[in-house]
């Protein structure tokens, strides 16, 4: 800020002196005696209106001045715009626009600096003034850098009493957008927010996320860098490096090698360039290209004139892509230029101009023949196809600036004339302030068909054409339009590229990659360390049971519970549903054993029923024998409920059936045990014991104890009934479907109750094992209950140490083993005696055994 104030005061010292001596003078620079012309690109044109017609020869004066091609282009664009306006009877009728154009108008910066320094040194007034009074508000159309623009603005608005309206066609600069500080200064260009979005969209389209940036180290470059960073963060694009190129040439030269080495050693293949064509950045770019750095250069339109003249070879992966302001086709411009000077602007000459571009509507198949053309053939081929003289951003801004000036002048003129008396014919002194207010509100559609809105707040966002810069042999350069960018389309649809034209222009469909890290393929995820850019990462395998089926995922997706990750961890595979089925060997074996024991028990029941009148059957309470055998049949069939796909009803039936059926069996054994004790212990004096035996009181043990078990099962169902348990985590790749016990406490209460009954039977039978009697069942009952208790005591730790269908198999095996123990210990010996030892199954033998037992006792 201090520097700006000091510069402003420094500039105003000679200006105030001049204003005091010559208050009404227009300053005009001296013509430069250098015949070689100016290589710069910043020109200043002065426009004003007159009341006399302008002949076409007026525009041909442009060709009498030798200048740089880029400057010549601006002059021709200005002349063409004025030519159209002056020929339009509906715009500024009875008035004409004229402009002052000399050789020196494109060397303002050096002229200003030399004049100001000379004036300060010699303490004299500024030379070369046009000391006549302008009766209309003239417009200064400038394309200078922002510092020179400020100098010129200060001179124009402090040197004479009448102001100048100043319009710039150069790149937008935020410093110049302050309307309060610079009320008579207007910028045609918009800010570069849309350009930043267009560049990032282009980069993302090709999958690049690691790019370099070379940018001028000034306010304009820093402002654009902030726009670019904002868009890159949204699109996850990172800077490999940011070269802030100093604008001071001496400072730049001291660091030039450092910038070169940084680009050469960088892993990125894409470099964004943003700056003015007359900056040190342009010098860098020309040097980098001449040194053969192979990169993809992505530039703004201002770089079109600075591209290297070296020939590009076909099938080259690298090249230059330029973004230029989009606008409609300006018809008649080529004809206008050629009619002014047919000799200079022949088709052969126009083909060689940098500002020509090839109309790529010609079919790509025909274009491919260029690969085999020599330089002369290439020139002939180009001349027979359609070419247009392209208006770049600066030329098009000049075109719109002239039309905006004409429209504002037209509106102000007719408003003033409507308010004047009819007989007032004297020329009115226009106010620049009023004209500026009209200019800022001007909105119109230009001859191209584009809408132009001079209101800075409602200015439309820029659309951009995308060009591929292509050099033919012998320096014949063209810009091939490969697509465009429009910010008015929805996100994701703003960029439109013609892949066919791009492939033709490059000579290859292949595009180099530009990424900080190699892609993380399916089965991997990105991992960052502290200090790493978001585009740089390591690849780590997905965690267990998580997958990634795309590249460069941040987080792996967990497989659903009914699926599991394959070995490559790139897809989820449905888990195999596991349960104890009849089809598998284990389930088939257990079901056959269950059915076999059931049939065997039925056979034994048939044998007992057939021989129910034999002494051995009568001696052991036939009713209890039948009940026990029938309950054992159901005990052997009970495991069939545990085999097959379970459901809620089956899960409930499994446990309830098991608990009730085994309670009947064990309580029957207990009743038989009590019956044996009563039968062999009762004496004549023990009438009460004899009454219990005769009245069949032991038979009531079965329903009593079974009822208690039913109540316990009802409590189980009411509190937490058994249900289906889907276990997808215990075994990898499998979903185990089994019946959950529900209330585990109640389950063990049922087992404990059965154990209590079995323990009671075992105790009673054990103490009664030596009682006399030929058919005393106490020993058999003792061994059966010993097997029963041993099986279920062993069941508990084994059951808790297994999972899945093995757990179900353990419960089935325990059920079968305990049932087989009771069947084998109690009934197999009796049936053997009935069937094969009939001599032992008689009253005589019973008496003999009973006597022998009594004698021994």
The 10s digit of each residue's pLDDT in 64-81 is 555 555 677 788 888 889
Q: Are 260 and 291 in contact (CB under 8 A)?
A: yes
Between 396 and 698, where is the model more confident? 396
d(CA 294, CA 415): 60
Phi, psi of 422 (to 5 degrees): -65, -30
pLDDT band at 771 (very low <50, low <70, confident <90, very high): low
Residue range 569-585: average pLDDT?
88
- Report the b/e string of 195-211 with b at 16+ CB within 10 A: bbbbbbbbbbeeebbbb
Q: Is residue 400's pLDDT more than 80? A: yes
Q: Is residue 166's pLDDT more than 50? A: yes
CB-based burial of residue 797 (10 Å sphere; 0-12 exposed, 13-18 middle, 19+ buried)? exposed
pLDDT band at 788 (very low <50, low <70, confident <90, very high): confident
The DSSP-derived string for 291-339 is TT---EEEEEGGGGGG---SPPPSS-S--EEEEEE-----TTHHHHHHH
| Sign of the dihedral through C-alpha 699, 703, 706, 711 | negative
CA dist 672 → 561, 601, 678 (Å)? 52, 18, 10
Q: What is the mean pLDDT of the chain?
A: 75
pLDDT band at 523 (very low <50, low <70, confident <90, very high): very high
pLDDT band at 342 (very low <50, low <70, confident <90, very high): low
Phi, psi of 729 (to 5 degrees): -115, -25
Q: Is residue 357's pLDDT more than 50? A: no
Q: Is residue 216's pLDDT more than 80? A: yes
d(CA 536, CA 586): 55
Query: Which has the minimum average pLDDT: 277-281, 475-479, 679-683?
Result: 679-683
Indicate the helix (H) or strand (E) that contains 546: strand 546-547
Please give the domain boundaries of the chain with CATH numbers for all domains. 2-190 (no CATH), 193-394+462-506 (3.40.50.2300), 524-574 (no CATH), 585-856 (1.20.1070.10)
Q: Strands 464-471, 477-485: parallel, antiparallel or unpaired by DSSP?
A: antiparallel
Report helix angle 219-235 to 193-205, nearest 10. Answer: 40
d(CA 129, CA 24): 9
pLDDT band at 509 (very low <50, low <70, confident <90, very high): low
CB-based burial of residue 71 (10 Å sphere; 0-12 exposed, 13-18 middle, 19+ buried)? buried
- Residue in 642, 662, 567, 654 with CA at minimum distance from that of residue 804: 642
pLDDT at site 212: 94
d(CA 437, CA 98): 22
**What letter would DSSP give residue 132?**
S
Q: Is residue 170's pLDDT more than 60? A: yes
Alpha helices in 372-392 (DSSP H): 375-383
Query: Which has the minimum average pLDDT: 185-189, 243-247, 458-462, 491-495?
Result: 458-462
Between 140 and 244, where is the model more confident? 244
């Amino acid at each position: 800020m201090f520097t700006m104030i000091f510069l402003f005061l420094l500039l105003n010292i000679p200006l105030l002196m001049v204003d005091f001596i010559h208050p009404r003078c227009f300053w005009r620079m001296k013509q430069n005696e250098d015949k070689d012309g100016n290589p710069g690109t910043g020109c200043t044109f002065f426009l004003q209106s007159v009341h006399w017609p302008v002949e076409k020869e007026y525009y041909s004066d442009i060709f009498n001045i030798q200048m740089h091609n880029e400057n010549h282009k601006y002059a021709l664009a200005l002349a063409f715009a004025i030519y159209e306006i002056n020929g339009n009877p509906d715009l500024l009728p009875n008035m004409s626009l004229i402009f002052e154009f000399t050789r020196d108008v494109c060397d303002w910066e050096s002229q200003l600096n030399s004049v100001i320094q000379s004036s300060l040194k010699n303490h004299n007034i500024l030379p070369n003034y046009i000391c006549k009074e302008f009766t209309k508000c003239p417009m200064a159309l400038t394309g200078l850098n922002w510092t020179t623009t400020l100098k010129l603005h200060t001179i124009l608005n402090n040197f004479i009493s009448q102001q100048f309206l100043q319009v710039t066609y150069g790149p937008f600069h935020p410093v110049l957008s302050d309307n309060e500080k610079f009320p008579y200064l207007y910028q045609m260009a918009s800010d570069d927010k849309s350009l930043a979005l267009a560049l990032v969209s282009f980069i993302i389209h090709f999958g690049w996320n690691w790019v370099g940036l070379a940018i001028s180290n000034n306010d304009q470059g820093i402002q654009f860098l902030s726009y670019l960073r904002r868009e890159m963060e949204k699109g996850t694009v990172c800077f490999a490096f940011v070269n802030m190129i100093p604008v001071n040439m001496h400072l730049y030269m001291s660091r030039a090698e450092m910038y070169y080495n940084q680009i050469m050693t960088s892993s990125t293949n894409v470099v964004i360039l943003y700056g003015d064509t007359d900056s040190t950045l342009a010098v860098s770019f020309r040097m980098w290209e001449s040194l053969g750095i192979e990169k993809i250069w992505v530039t703004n339109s201002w770089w079109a004139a600075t591209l290297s003249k070296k020939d590009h070879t076909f099938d080259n992966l690298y090249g230059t892509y330029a973004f230029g302001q989009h606008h409609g086709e300006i018809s008649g411009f080529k004809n206008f230029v050629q009619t002014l000077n047919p000799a200079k602007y022949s088709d052969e000459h126009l083909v060689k101009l940098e500002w020509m571009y090839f109309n790529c509507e010609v079919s790509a198949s025909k274009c491919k023949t260029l690969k085999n053309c020599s330089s002369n053939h290439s020139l002939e081929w180009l001349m027979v196809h359609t070419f247009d003289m392209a208006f770049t951003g600066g030329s098009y801004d000049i075109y719109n600036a002239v039309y905006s000036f004409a429209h504002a002048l037209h509106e102000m003129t007719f408003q003033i004339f409507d308010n004047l008396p009819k007989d007032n014919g004297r020329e009115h002194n226009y106010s620049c302030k009023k004209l500026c207010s009209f200019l800022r509100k001007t909105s119109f559609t230009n001859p191209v068909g584009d809408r132009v809105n001079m209101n800075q707040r409602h200015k439309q966002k820029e659309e951009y054409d995308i060009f591929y810069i292509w050099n033919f042999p012998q320096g014949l350069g063209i810009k091939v339009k490969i697509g465009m960018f429009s910010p008015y389309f929805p996100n994701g649809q703003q960029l439109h590229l013609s892949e066919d034209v791009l492939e033709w222009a490059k000579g290859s469909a292949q595009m180099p990659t530009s990424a900080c890290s190699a892609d993380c393929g399916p089965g991997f995820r990105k991992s960052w360390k502290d200090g790493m850019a978001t585009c740089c990462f390591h690849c780590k395998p997905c965690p267990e049971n998580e997958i990634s089926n795309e590249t460069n995922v941040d987080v792996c997706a967990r497989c659903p519970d009914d699926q599991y990750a394959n070995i490559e961890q790139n897809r989820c595979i449905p888990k195999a549903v596991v349960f104890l089925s009849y089809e598998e060997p284990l389930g088939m074996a257990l079901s056959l054993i269950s059915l076999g024991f059931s049939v065997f028990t039925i056979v034994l029941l048939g044998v007992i029923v057939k021989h129910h009148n034999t002494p051995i059957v009568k001696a052991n309470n036939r009713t209890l024998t039948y009940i026990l055998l029938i309950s054992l049949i159901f005990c052997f069939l009970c495991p069939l409920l545990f085999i097959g796909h379970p459901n809620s009803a089956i899960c409930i039936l499994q446990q309830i059936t098991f608990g009730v059926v085994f309670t009947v069996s064990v309580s029957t054994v207990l009743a038989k045990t009590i019956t044996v004790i009563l039968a062999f212990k009762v004496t004549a004096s023990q009438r009460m014991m004899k009454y219990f035996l005769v009245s069949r009181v032991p038979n009531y043990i079965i329903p009593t104890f079974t009822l208690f078990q039913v109540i316990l099962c009802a409590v189980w169902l009411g509190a937490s009934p058994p249900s289906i348990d889907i276990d997808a985590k215990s075994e990898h790749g499998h979903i185990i479907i089994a019946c959950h016990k529900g209330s585990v406490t109640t389950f063990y209460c049922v087992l404990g109750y059965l154990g209590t009954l079995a323990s009671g039977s075992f105790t009673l039978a054990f103490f009664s094992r030596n009682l006399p009697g030929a058919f005393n069942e106490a020993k058999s009952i003792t061994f059966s209950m010993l097997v029963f208790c041993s099986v279920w005591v062993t069941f508990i730790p084994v059951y808790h140490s297994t999972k899945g269908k093995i757990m179900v198999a353990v419960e089935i095996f325990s059920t079968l083993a305990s049932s087989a123990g009771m069947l084998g210990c109690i009934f197999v010996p009796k049936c053997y005696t009935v069937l094969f030892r009939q001599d032992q199954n008689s009253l005589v033998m019973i008496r003999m055994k009973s006597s022998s037992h009594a004698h021994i006792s």
